Amino acid sequence: MSPDRRVVVTGIGVVSPCGTGIDDFWSGLLGPAPVGLRRIEDFDPEPYFENAKEARRTDRFAQFALAATDEAMRMAGTIDGDPARQGVWIGTGIGGLTTLEDQVLVHEHKGPRRVSPFMVPMLMANAASAAVSMKYGWQGPCENTCTACAAGTQSIGNAYRLITSGRCDAVVTGSSEATMTPTCIAGFTNMTAMASDGLSMPFDRDRHGFVLAEGSGILVLEELESARRRGATILAEIMGAASNADAHHITAPSPGGIGAITCMRSAVADAGLEPSDIRHVNAHGTSTPLNDAAEAAAIAELFGPGAVPVTSFKGVTGHSLGAAGALEAVGAVLTIQRGQIPPTAGFTTPDPDMAPIDLVVGEPRPWTPGPVLSNSFGFGGHNGCVVIGPAPD
């Protein structure tokens, strides 16, 4: 890895339940916590395709990714250069589940000859990456990370390393998810992971499960000097990233948040920083009893009790599984750009049994932007962290 190859963000885009487009998304993050499943209503995919037929042959999760990429690429502007040095790395937790469930029902009720010939390319987890690379003609590495709820953050970390290693000069990255199917909802409900009343309450004493969501967050990453040469507007810097595994349990975090502590410490070190340099933590904060407690313990252990402002967006956005980390990375860039830390919506009652953290609640908190640590922790023990800082001088 070359220490001279710094990585900056020149474009961001978002499709989310609290707002599509960065301005509406930001307004949503500053608003109250809604109730119920966090669906994206009235989404029209056709503007992002050549025709309606092409849109129909693309799963919803890839449609979201193309819409978010459209916004991010328009913001970034024209990126010239060798297409072979321009990559795409878009993650997902599950992929084209909507297509899979629909086609299983077609097979069951109408027979095998009625199953769509487009089923496989629609449901594959790499479909979003492939669609973006083909639309923009980016011919470098085109890959996908599928690591449950850590997929978005780990994808950003992987894209960052494509640039720092010298392999790419620009990468479209992020993640996307669309799993609002009856079977998926039933599965999460029956494992008692979801809040039965539709309330997401990160870090609250009475938290009792996450609220399922969908969406996509996309970032355009570029090598710093390349971005400067073309006169790009630089929004933020990706300073470091890390990933590891709890190696403990398929759904429960390691006791005391040991895996999370190690991952956070590694990301901070990768950025060339000390824990005291981190000015804000964007928490995974899903509103589940074990995960929030483990993350709070990890944050307090690494940074000290109440030492750094912490927020979770999931009171507003719900938990969009593999898309969550990318939505939160986009939100972290906006937090830097707009000089405010959004509050943790849905929080009302402190948990006396939880390690003490400085949770931002009630109103947005003004701050002097500095390095942000964004956390994602997924089923299977997958941990991902990324450090996002203000744009370099």
Which residues are part of the catalytic machinery?
Answer: 149, 284, 319
Helix axis angle, 60-76 to 127-136, nearest 10°: 40
Tokens of 169: 């000069």
Tokens of 214: 């969908």
Cα–Cα dist 121/118, whole Å: 6
Q: Report the alpha-carbon angle 273-171-65, nearest 5.
A: 110
Asked if 86 contacts 141 with a C-beta cutoff of 8 angstroms, the reply is: no
Tokens of 58: 């693309």
Asked if 64 contacts 40 with a C-beta cutoff of 8 angstroms, the reply is: yes
| Residue that the structure tokens 């340099």 belong to | 277
Q: What is the number of alpha carbons within 13 Å of residue 185 lying toward its C-beta?
A: 15
- Give the SS3 label for residue 373: strand
